[in-house]
Every structure is written in C-alpha cells, then in structure tokens.
Amino acid sequence: MIFRLTERDLRTKFGTFREILYYDGQTESMAIVMGDVAGQADVLCRVHSHCVGAHIFNSIECECREEMECSQFLIEQAGRGVIVWLDQEGKGNGHLALMASTEYKRQGFPQAEAYRKAGFEADDRSYRPAAEILTDLRVESIVLLANNASKADDLRKASIAVSATKAMTIGEELAELFQNELRKGYSKT
C-alpha cells in the first residue's frame, strides 16, 4: 500500500505542476500533476522510470530525458495530466544492470536482450506503485504516453482504465513547437 507523504507546487519550464511524494514502505515514488485530474477521463499520463544517465548526466544513450520533457510539454498543451516517477533504474534491475549491459547495447543488442546477456531480467519493473498513485489521484481513465505497450497491459491488470496509448515520438511540427517552448524557458505560470 502506498501513502501520500507531502506535496508542493513545482515550477518547471512547462508550467506549474503539483508534486506529490509517495512512499510504500520501501521506495519513494512521485507524481507531478497539472490541472484537475480527479474524476476525469482520458487524462494524459506518463509512467516514467528513474534514469541517472539521462536525468542527471544528460546521457545521449537513451531517450529518457526527451520523453520526460515531451510528456511535460504535451500535458502543458492539454492543460492537465499526470507524470508518475518510479525509482526503477535499468528497467527495475538497478544502475548496476544498466552499466553491465552497456557493452551488449554497443554491440547492437536491444536493451532487453542486453540485460539478459548481462545476467538480469529483461524488464523487472512493477507498475503497482503507479496504479496506486493513479487510484489515489482518483483519475477515471488515462491516455498513456508510452512506447511500450506492455505498460498499458500491466496498468490494466492493476485495474487502471487505459483508454488509449500515445506513442512518445516527436514529429517535425511538434519538434519545432517544442523547441520554441524550450527556448522561452517558463512557458506558463
């Protein structure tokens, strides 16, 4: 069971979100929420796993940072949405697995296979905390921002209504708009 610990307003370059910290007895998880999502259907939602390389060191070996920024941008444009941040580095295997799998990735193996070759699970993430957070926020249904269809399946198994998925790709038109917004800095409050 997950518990809401505290919350605050968080100003970002994509507007002001409500940051909510959760704890399940072992791990902290967070949600950032824009707008009123309680009782709402088709709320944009990104379930995002921690990534030291991208979020702290600006690594170019993955798209994690860009996916987070794109999610915030799309939510800002919609005026409401949720991003759930889970402490699940390396697809739930930890940072050691990520580092140990690097050589296999460089040899051309997909990330899941690289983890297996390094002796780890292909994907050891749990979306239970995300489901509990969405339930706590009383979201009726979500449009999941994800490139991984199994995320939607796992959330549905946890009784979350996923009405649709939206791929995390930045088309040419959105890329230009997105870059213009980034150059401006804070775009809304």
Most confident option among 33-37, 66-70, 173-177 = 33-37
Q: Where are the domains of the chain?
A: 3-88+125-178
What CA–CA distances, in Å, run from 34 to 43, 77, 141, 175? 10, 10, 15, 22
Average pLDDT (147-154) is 86
Please determine, for residue 169, whether its predicted confidence score (pLDDT) is greater than 90.
Answer: no
Q: Tokens 């990520």 — which residue?
A: 98
CATH topology of domain 3-88+125-178: Rossmann fold (3.40.50)
Please determine, for residue 73, whether its predicted confidence score (pLDDT) is greater than 70.
Answer: yes
How far apart are the C-alpha atoms of 68 and 72, rounded to whole Å?
6
Percent of the chain scoring above 70 in pLDDT: 84
Distance of alpha carbon 41 from its chain centroid, rounded?
19
Catalytic residue positions, numbered: 123, 125
State the pairing for strand pair 15-23/162-166: unpaired
Please determine, for residue 188, whether its predicted confidence score (pLDDT) is greater than 50.
Answer: no
Question: How confident is the model at residue 187, as a pLDDT?
Answer: 41
Token pair, residue 62, equals 């993955």
How far apart are the C-alpha atoms of 102 and 114, rounded to whole Å?
7
How far apart are the C-alpha atoms of 94 and 100, rounded to whole Å?
10
For residue range 74-113, what is the model confidence (pLDDT) as tens digits? 999 999 999 999 988 767 666 777 778 788 888 998 888 8
Instruction: Report which of residues 4 and 123 the model is more confident about.
Output: 4
Which amino acid is residue 102, in one-letter code?
Answer: T
Question: How confident is the model at residue 177, as a pLDDT?
Answer: 58
DSSP state of 166: E
Please determine, for residue 33, whether its predicted confidence score (pLDDT) is greater than 80.
Answer: yes
Instruction: Report which of residues 176 and 164 the model is more confident about.
Output: 164
Can you tell me whether residue 127 is helix, strand or coil? Answer: coil
CB-based burial, 23-49: b 16+ in 10 Å, e otherwise: eeeeeebbbbbbbebeebeebbbbbbb
Q: What is the mean pLDDT of the chain?
A: 85
Question: 186: pLDDT confidence band, cut at 50, 70 and 90?
Answer: very low
Average pLDDT (145-156) is 89
